[in-house]
């Protein structure tokens, strides 16, 4: 069974540009999460989808970040326009239960904003 | 103050030795606790859940102390493959999907 896949694995863009990250969760997992790790800091929650609905987006840093999950399958996270402080590793995770004991993480998308 | 705090280490451990480290959490409403393991430049993976009564999984033992608001992880008979960063994870009952991660404790097992 395929795990959580993320694309791209690494993206280098200039400040002001736009980047879209994609996450394909494990098939059948209704819950999809985005997390971010900025260098030297802990992994931080961004948002949580249940199917196509945003259950909790309290971790989204500002309105330059837009997450979507059309049809309740894959999700995209768009950063527009990107700033230097957006650099980090963006992890996607999925789980089957609404009260998960385990999140299955993708390998992450490393974003570098120059 | 961070919600979840960990000693970053590194803990340098000879192969075969025992290592233990703690994680403290600040929110008394925290409900569920986990240890995740993360290898360098890889994704976090669940190592074990932490139950109130404490639990063991092979060489790994996790404990929870609600009164003092900390959890612990003990690794016995350390293997070279145990070298990793161990992430303490806490969730609250009012936001199950919102995992609070510690910054991680690095363990380096040496031959």
Min Cα–Cα distance to chain B from A42, Å: 4
Smallest Cβ distance to B43: which of A45, A55, A107?
A: A107
Evaluate if residue A6 carries a pLDDT over 90. Answer: yes
Chain-chain contact of A105 with B34 (C-beta, under 8 angstroms): no
Dihedral, CA atoms, A53, A59, A65, A69, nearest 10 degrees? -20
Would the CB atoms of A99 and B87 count as touching at under 8 Å?
A: no
Residue whose tokens read 């995770």: A93
Mean residue pLDDT of chain B comes to 93
What integer pLDDT is reported at residue A43 of this predicted model? 96
Nearest beta carbon to residue A56 from set B32, B42, B95: B95
Helix (H) or strand (E) holding B65: strand B60-65
Are the CB atoms for A106 and A92 separated by under 8 Å?
yes
Q: What is the mean pLDDT of residues A65-93?
A: 96
Percent of chain A with pLDDT over 90: 88
Q: Between β-strands B55-57 and B60-65, what pairing exists: parallel, antiparallel or unpaired?
A: antiparallel
B87 neighbourhood in chain A, CB within 8 Å? 43
> Which of B12, B83, B97 is closest to A58 using CA atoms?
B97
Q: Write out pLDDT tens, residues B67-110.
A: 999 999 999 999 999 999 999 999 987 777 789 999 999 999 99
At A101-112, the pLDDT tens digits run 789 999 999 999
Q: For residues B36 and A35, what is the distance between their CA atoms, to the nearest angstrom?
A: 15
């Amino acid at each position: 069974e395929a795990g959580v896949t993320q694309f791209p694995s690494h993206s280098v863009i200039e400040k002001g540009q736009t980047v879209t990250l994609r996450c394909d969760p494990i098939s059948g997992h209704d819950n999809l999460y985005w997390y971010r790790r900025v260098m030297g800091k802990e992994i931080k929650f961004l948002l949580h989808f249940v199917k196509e609905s945003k259950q909790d987006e309290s971790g989204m840093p500002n309105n330059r970040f837009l997450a979507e999950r059309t049809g309740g399958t894959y999700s995209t996270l768009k950063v527009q326009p990107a700033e230097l402080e957006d650099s980090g590793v963006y992890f996607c995770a999925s789980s089957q239960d609404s009260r998960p004991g385990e999140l299955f993480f993708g390998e992450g998308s490393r974003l570098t904003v120059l | 103050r961070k919600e979840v705090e960990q000693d970053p280490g590194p803990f340098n451990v000879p192969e075969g030795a025992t290592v233990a480290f703690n994680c403290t959490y600040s929110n008394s409403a925290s409900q569920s606790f986990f240890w995740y393991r993360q290898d360098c430049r890889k994704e976090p993976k669940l190592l074990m859940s932490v139950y109130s009564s404490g639990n063991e999984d092979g060489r790994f033992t996790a404990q929870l102390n609600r009164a003092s608001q900390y959890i612990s992880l003990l690794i016995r008979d350390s293997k070279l493959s145990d070298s990793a960063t161990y992430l303490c994870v806490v969730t609250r009952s009012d936001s199950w999907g919102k995992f609070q991660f510690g910054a991680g404790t690095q363990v380096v097992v040496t031959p």
